[in-house]
Structure 1
């Protein structure tokens, strides 16, 4: 039972964190071998295929449970990767997505919490008193726990019900060590990683994830999104209690409502359509009208309120996009909407870095159109898991066909060098597609989005 006792802090040493990840290797090897067999294209009999599926089915649940325990205890970047695997369709082992993702769902907001004493000490350090002194009421046990902090219910001295996010002690050091390990791996494999432009992606990840550790910045971003969406009736952004917020403690208005999984199971199609439209408007209107990217669209960040509004809870992973990048994105979106294929091709070259003289041109061009289908289709678009998986599978199939050709040695195809700021735009595309698929939203996304794409950027409303 000692192992079940909540820890006071996550492991922070570089060696210790690498050792924990290494312990997952025996579990993931069967997936790697199976994936290699599929990629290399060796034909198998029906009996061999059935046996392979049976072996995989036995491994999937054990592997997901091992990941849940290890990544949940580590927190930080490994936990963020586990969260992505739990909800982005197309990342889990083919044919076993539902079982694999179901086991990892707890990582979204129910990861193993740290001890109540650890959270109390953080409140003491940051706010100058024990939780019972600072707040009128304080719940020792958190109701949510995720990658860099856990959330407690409380009531302020003025009687307001609040959610208090408390950062894990030492998580800044843990994330920094994770990033150092990734950078070291990138350096060791530089002949390969240079082709993938890995260094610029790692630099961008470092900048964005380290900024997430500053809850004072997150409070500012929450205020910004409240202003942006002040006139949006279906969007709710909880108010920040700035007097009870510091760099490592964030106190906000408590948002009532259902979690994502329960809402998807119980809500009517009409309610899911309305909620999906609210999430779409929140995400794309902010980005295309104001240049503000909400880059963490995972299911734990939403609450579905009794009055039909959607509450947005986490503003740590927010990026201010350069105005010229937003205008460049609108350029190829408008061209696709207008079926101006000459202009679309020019934008693919000049904005996205695609090479029209390389054999990868058709793949990347087609993939971009695949991602934009909800925007280019004039009819109602049905969000489904099959379509969400295709946003991942389409690219994977194409890269595989270019990499492994009969009678030739494997070869890494051309990888476009996109703007560094595009790193989290790509993360948004896969994540949001899966969130919308879970809701099963049916909506006229082109009709909703076209005004933001046609117009220029707006100034962000002043405080």
Structure 2
């Protein structure tokens, strides 16, 4: 049985403290490389597997002590199987569920600062240990007047350290993601904006209430109630949902019909947000969903919401139409509008990038091109991973003088990749509803 992560009684909050922690991780990674190449002299056939495992462990240990933006970026990267070696994916995925939690005295201090009261003053019972700890905050279970609540408490210093953390995490991101500096700069503002929003719990409560109200009519979905009077910019109080996370639920061998029902609820939830609300829950990792009794999907976190600009929406989803792949004039215009190609490209570069993006669009749009789609097709996902791996290693991409793709696509792509991944884990066969204009 795995042990719970050890509680932290201190989080480095100053720039100097956090920078020192980053530098310490960098020194360990450097030492791991020296150790690896020393061993390789003796054994030339040695693979990098042990190196990746050592680096992943050292980087995760440092980031999990820092928490906040640095750990959130690691969590985001772990969702994309094309981005990182397996050792990093396995370790960084822990940020979704089991980061080291804060010790209770720090939680009490956060309550006193926010409300002038302790948790015991506000609730009849309050768990002194976190029931779940992630990158931005941790969750405690509480009761009051016969009701059970989930209380999310943000880690100290997270909001204030977003910008400086992202500057310090860049060297790791360059190496791990194989991105050049131009690409990183192109997307970093978008990442920073979303991370700052995730630290604003008052905004999260507002969005949670609004999106839940707009999606409550959809079948087999359930949303907790939120309590603004017991919430602040650093604390959220909402209903406790009793159920199982996806991995636990799947271990109980649900029927194919039940898998399809949860999968359809997921698809319908995202379809309605993207095409009707033009804003979307953009953090579809398994930790944000709970399967409730009655085979109902509970949605428990709206910290990351992407508002979709109308012009981006029209261009992006026009690419999914089958006929777009046959209409060269329309396709070229969309590629320009979405920053896939530009006037700075040579004719050879334009031809190359148009070819690559056509291939990507045809593959990623495949579920939209049929009335139903079986997401249990592992060969389909292998094609996606193979294409992503091939592109990431391609000389033309690596030497590109500019970033490719609108910054708005960063979280929309992440959303659909996460959705597809969840549906694949479910092995769900669903009806792929789409707006009339895309049919």
What secondary structure, in the 3-state scheme, does the structure 2 residue paired with 1:250 have?
strand
Alignment partner, residue 7 of structure 1: 9
The answer to whether the 8 Å contact 1:285/1:452 transfers is: no
The answer to whether the 8 Å contact 1:385/1:434 transfers is: no
The answer to whether the 8 Å contact 2:215/2:272 transfers is: no
CA distance in 2, matches of 1:144, 1:5: 12
The yes-or-no answer on 1:361 pairing with 2:354 is: yes
The yes-or-no answer on 1:199 pairing with 2:192 is: no
CA distance in 2, matches of 1:452, 1:61: 47
Q: CA deviation at 1:68?
A: 3.7
The yes-or-no answer on 1:79 pairing with 2:93 is: no
The answer to whether the 8 Å contact 2:374/2:427 transfers is: no
Q: Equivalences for 1:101-112 in 2 at 5 Å?
A: 101-112=89-100
The yes-or-no answer on 1:294 pairing with 2:286 is: no
What secondary structure, in the 3-state scheme, does the structure 1 residue paired with 2:101 have?
coil
Q: CA deviation at 1:104?
A: 4.2
Q: Equivalences for 1:11-410 in 2 at 5 Å?
A: 11-13=13-15, 14-26=18-30, 29=33, 51-52=45-46, 55-93=47-85, 97=86, 101-156=89-144, 158-181=145-168, 193-194=181-182, 196=183, 198-266=184-252, 267-333=254-320, 335-336=321-322, 340-342=326-328, 345-346=331-332, 348-355=334-341, 357-384=350-377, 386-403=379-396
Cα 1:367–1:27, aligned 2, differ >3 Å: closer, same or farther? farther
CA distance in 2, matches of 1:28, 1:370: 38
Q: CA deviation at 1:182?
A: 5.7
What is the TM-score normalised by the length of structure 2? Answer: 0.84
Q: Deviations over 1:377-399 (max 9, x none)?
A: 34533345553354343133135
CA distance in 1, matches of 2:376, 2:337: 27
Q: CA deviation at 1:375?
A: 0.9
The answer to whether the 8 Å contact 1:12/1:173 transfers is: no
Cα 1:332–1:86, aligned 2, differ >3 Å: closer, same or farther? closer
The answer to whether the 8 Å contact 1:242/1:251 transfers is: yes
Cα 1:185–1:140, aligned 2, differ >3 Å: closer, same or farther? closer
What secondary structure, in the 3-state scheme, does the structure 1 residue paired with 2:10 have?
coil
Deviates more, 1:355-364 or 1:117-126: 355-364
Alignment partner, residue 40 of structure 2: none
What secondary structure, in the 3-state scheme, does the structure 1 residue paired with 2:138 have?
strand
Bigger relative contact order (CA 8 A; separation at least 6): 1
In structure 1, list runs of 5 or more residues that go unmatched.
34-46, 405-410, 455-463
CA distance in 1, matches of 2:108, 2:416: 38
Number of residue pairs aligned between Structure 1 and Structure 2 = 416
What secondary structure, in the 3-state scheme, does the structure 2 residue paired with 1:419 have?
coil
What secondary structure, in the 3-state scheme, does the structure 2 residue paired with 1:359 have?
helix
Deviates more, 1:273-282 or 1:211-220: 273-282
Q: Deviations over 1:59-103 (max 9, x none)?
A: 45444433442222121222123323444323342xxx3x66444
Q: CA deviation at 1:293?
A: 2.0
Output the aligned Cα RMSD.
3.2
What secondary structure, in the 3-state scheme, does the structure 2 residue paired with 1:449 have?
coil
CA distance in 2, matches of 1:74, 1:380: 41
Cα 1:114–1:275, aligned 2, differ >3 Å: closer, same or farther? same
Cα 1:203–1:363, aligned 2, differ >3 Å: closer, same or farther? same
CA distance in 2, matches of 1:359, 1:431: 27
Q: Deviations over 1:334-389 (max 9, x none)?
A: x3267654466245424323337332221122112211111113453334555335
CA distance in 2, matches of 1:68, 1:452: 45
CA distance in 1, matches of 2:261, 2:102: 36
